[in-house]
A = this chain, B = another copy of it.
């Protein structure tokens, strides 16, 4: 186990009708907030009205900025920064899924900074950020308690991440009922992302990480089982609750303590969605099994353990590689069973820019830690995913 520091102070407010507390919770921080959201779905579902009422009852002022798209864009972030400065806003409330939250965090880091907010996505360290809070509607990115923000710069198709403890939301409201209106395919794409956050942490070369291995297996098993329940019964609120809480735990950094995570698949996927604007989770359900095929020989026993503990596969002691390959097939079958794409073809992605994406992904340095991936590796993974 590696030395580590773990600190996650985000207050979780979980359960039915918890969005009604938002006004009171905000009062501890601000009198005037930016309410940031996506399209019209929160208006259709009535969430918008409930949030506005709660803010009004608490006597808060707010300004709205809506229209965040999947793979949130830098231009919207700059617009948010401008509004906050003009209106003297000191707190950002994100109402939505990962894209809205990531956009809110990017606004929060941009407001107190004189330069171009994209500097942070190029590596500049953050020294301050406005506080944020979340009302979560889509269990997926884990952004509701993470310190990460992923933004796409339209000019050049760059998709980059910033990670800083300063970006963790002050509080996150998690009402699983709010996810009931999500279309089933979006639900499943979110679930792919959740599984990816755990798989990226699970496959480490660090020895003696038993407790986190087991916690990851526990959370992954829960997500797999409840995803299948939701696929046949999307209104199952108990399964929605398991997925929502598991989705947060998958990415609050606890399950990564003491180990070096991989993140190769995420980095490769960022190129895919920057080039083709595919939903992040759909890119991951395609790339992760392909990544596994490319890397499993680096630590066959870890894949045997994965198959046995997550999919209840009886280990093949004489031919461990067989067990490893079976485990990968189980994961791919699981993704298929909940309607997710598992090939570039499923995503209608042609193969004429694979080389360009592989080059872009590795232009600064190789990606991944379980196995360091250079351009040829990434290209090979794209080909395994065809």
A261 vs B3: C-alpha distance when bound (angstroms) = 32
A254 vs B258: C-alpha distance when bound (angstroms) = 18
Contact A18 B3 (CB under 8 A): yes
Checking B1, B5, B218, B222 against A238 with a beta-carbon cut-off of 8 angstroms, the contacting residue is: B1
Closest B residue to A220 using CB positions: B214
- Residues of B contacting A246 in the complex (Cβ-Cβ under 8 angstroms): 211
Decide yes or no whether A366 CB sits under 8 A from chain B: no
Closest B residue to A249 using CB positions: B211
Contact B245 A258 (CB under 8 A): yes
Decide yes or no whether A184 CB sits under 8 A from chain B: no
A13 vs B208: C-alpha distance when bound (angstroms) = 18
Contact A208 B242 (CB under 8 A): yes
> Given contacts A214-B218, A215-B219, is CB(A12)–CB(B5) below 8 Å?
yes
> Given contacts A14-B258, A15-B2, A218-B218, is CB(A242)–CB(B211) below 8 Å?
yes
- Residues of B contacting A225 in the complex (Cβ-Cβ under 8 angstroms): 210
- Residues of B contacting A4 in the complex (Cβ-Cβ under 8 angstroms): 12, 14-15
Decide yes or no whether A85 CB sits under 8 A from chain B: no
Quote the shortest CB–CB distance from A28 to chain B (angstroms): 12
- Residues of B contacting A210 in the complex (Cβ-Cβ under 8 angstroms): 222, 225-226, 242
Q: How many copies of this chain does one complex carry?
A: 2
Checking B217, B257, B258 against A218 with a beta-carbon cut-off of 8 angstroms, the contacting residue is: B217
> Given contacts A211-B219, A242-B211, is CB(A5)–CB(B14) below 8 Å?
yes
Contact B5 A13 (CB under 8 A): yes
Which residues 241-262 in A have Cβ within 8 Å of B in the complex? Answer: 241-242, 245-246, 249, 254, 257-258
A30 vs B366: C-alpha distance when bound (angstroms) = 44
- Residues of B contacting A319 in the complex (Cβ-Cβ under 8 angstroms): none
A74 vs B242: C-alpha distance when bound (angstroms) = 43
Decide yes or no whether A353 CB sits under 8 A from chain B: no
Decide yes or no whether A348 CB sits under 8 A from chain B: no
Decide yes or no whether A221 CB sits under 8 A from chain B: yes
A246 vs B208: C-alpha distance when bound (angstroms) = 13
Decide yes or no whether A16 CB sits under 8 A from chain B: yes
- Residues of B contacting A221 in the complex (Cβ-Cβ under 8 angstroms): 214
A3 vs B173: C-alpha distance when bound (angstroms) = 11
Quote the shortest CB–CB distance from A167 to chain B (angstroms): 16
Quote the shortest CB–CB distance from A381 to chain B (angstroms): 30
Quote the shortest CB–CB distance from A17 to chain B (angstroms): 8
10 additional A-B pairs beyond A3-B16, A9-B9, A217-B218, beta carbons within 8 Å, are: A2-B15, A5-B14, A6-B12, A7-B11, A210-B225, A211-B249, A214-B218, A215-B249, A218-B218, A245-B257
List 11 A–B pairs whose Cβ atoms lie within 8 Å, in order of A's numbering.
A2-B15, A4-B14, A7-B9, A14-B257, A207-B238, A210-B225, A214-B218, A214-B219, A215-B249, A217-B218, A218-B218
Measured CB to CB, the residues of A under 8 A from B are: 1-16, 18, 207-208, 210-211, 214-215, 217-219, 221-222, 225-226, 238, 241-242, 245-246, 249, 254, 257-258
- 8 A-B pairs with the lowest CB-CB distances in the bound complex, closest first: A3-B15, A214-B218, A9-B9, A208-B238, A218-B218, A7-B11, A6-B12, A211-B222
